[in-house]
Structure 1
Amino acid sequence: MEHEVKTDRRILRTKHSVMKSFLELYAEKEFEQITINEIAERANVNRGTVYLHYTDKYDLLDHCMEDHINALISRCKNREVSKSSHGMVQEPKPVFDYLQDHFSFFFTTFSNQRVFLFRDRLLHFIVVNLMDKMEQPDNPPVVDKELKAQFLASAFIGIVEWWIRQRMPHSSQFMAEQVKHLFEKNQVYSE
């Protein structure tokens, strides 16, 4: 049993090293120019080890995006549980803090030609979050809930993308306050 834990840790370290190497290369050059050989060399593993964990560089990018989306979801859910708030909608600051903490990845992703993959995943996460918050059975909405969620999520992603591409000219606190005011004005939740 003790041997299994060591094996798991080695696998985790190897995957972390491969992911870290990939992200460094992703920040340095265009995605299409990155090769598995470069990733393996930088991670100090052979290319077979990379293929053992990921089918190709697209799979590696997908895992990376999935990890960031899951981290955002986790951060929002932890906030909801710990503060009985409304997650990203009520308190968007943790989302902006996370984006700021991982600036390199997000800047590269939003600057890359493959931005639509990440944008679609982020959009889905935000739409689901917004639709949950717009449940108001005693006050039927004038605008369809799903359309409103799509509209607001698209606007939110546009703001995030602008903020990141402009190299974060405002603090995460300022951005969170601005987004919160926009959500309030659009009656995503009652004040």
Structure 2
Amino acid sequence: MDRRIKKNQTAIMNALIHLMASKDFEKITINEIAEYADVNRGTIYSHYIDKYDLLDKCIEVNIEQLIDSCLPENPADAYPSKHSLRRTFELMEKNAFFYKTLLTNKGVPSFRNHLQEMMIQGIREQIVDHHLSLNELQKDILVQFLSSATVGVIEWWLTHEMPCSSEEITEHLWVLLETNQVIPRLSI
């Protein structure tokens, strides 16, 4: 991709997030985004259909980064490791402004839904990979419980100004997952 195009897209996405930190998404206009990004409206429309498309692409890019960060480094590993969980929290810590803004903006419940869907998909894959002997109802309940709990912890951590480091929150969450026998007890 041309560096100028990438630079414009990054500036436009950053403008949207900064504006969302101070006002509801629904009240943000393309003109405001263009002004904040220091581009013209045509540049925005050359990359995105409208502000909803821009928001969707912004979420998509960041969810893909999160997915990449939480995958095991060794594809042969069945479960994500504590290290991959820590990488995920480190990415969220590094981009805390973005994640907190999307989680707290009243006009964007879709980000939390995307995050939860990502968790649901990953947990379902783990259940299938480990051939857990659960009936469909048990699987559905387990998936809902784990995804809701994990997303809730992430949301709490970000909206409470990260009261502990990414390493500490990883340790706490890992202990909870081990305690509830969600992950095998491995020495990492």
TM-score band by shorter chain is 0.7 to 0.9
The aligned residue for residue 94 of structure 1 is 87
Taking the aligned partners of 2:168 and 2:78, their CA distance within structure 1 comes to 19
Q: 1:115 to 1:176 in 2, by over 3 A?
A: farther
Matched, 1:119 2:112: yes
2:171 maps to which of 167, 170, 177: 177
RMSD of aligned C-alpha atoms? 2.3
**C-alpha distance after superposition, 1:140-160 (max 9, x if no partner):** 237722320121100111111
Taking the aligned partners of 2:120 and 2:82, their CA distance within structure 1 comes to 11
Taking the aligned partners of 1:94 and 1:146, their CA distance within structure 2 comes to 27
How far off its partner does 1:70 sit?
Answer: 0.3
Q: How does 1:11-90 map to 2 (within 5 A)?
A: 11-77=5-71, 79-81=72-74, 84=77, 86-87=79-80
Residue 12 of structure 1 aligns to a residue in which SS? helix
> Is the CA contact 1:163–1:169 (under 8 Å) kept in the aligned structure 2?
yes
What is the TM-score when the length of structure 1 is the normalising length? 0.85
User: What code does the residue aligned with 2:105 have?
Assistant: N
Taking the aligned partners of 1:103 and 1:86, their CA distance within structure 2 comes to 25
How far off its partner does 1:11 sit?
Answer: 1.7
- The alignment covers a number of residue pairs equal to 183
> Is the CA contact 2:21–2:105 (under 8 Å) kept in the aligned structure 1?
no
Q: 1:91 to 1:183 in 2, by over 3 A?
A: farther
Taking the aligned partners of 1:180 and 1:166, their CA distance within structure 2 comes to 20
> Is the CA contact 1:97–1:172 (under 8 Å) kept in the aligned structure 2?
yes
User: Which stretches in structure 2 are left out of the alignment for 5+ residues?
Assistant: none
Aligned residues with identical type, % of pairs: 38
> Is the CA contact 2:13–2:54 (under 8 Å) kept in the aligned structure 1?
yes
Q: 1:56 to 1:88 in 2, by over 3 A?
A: farther
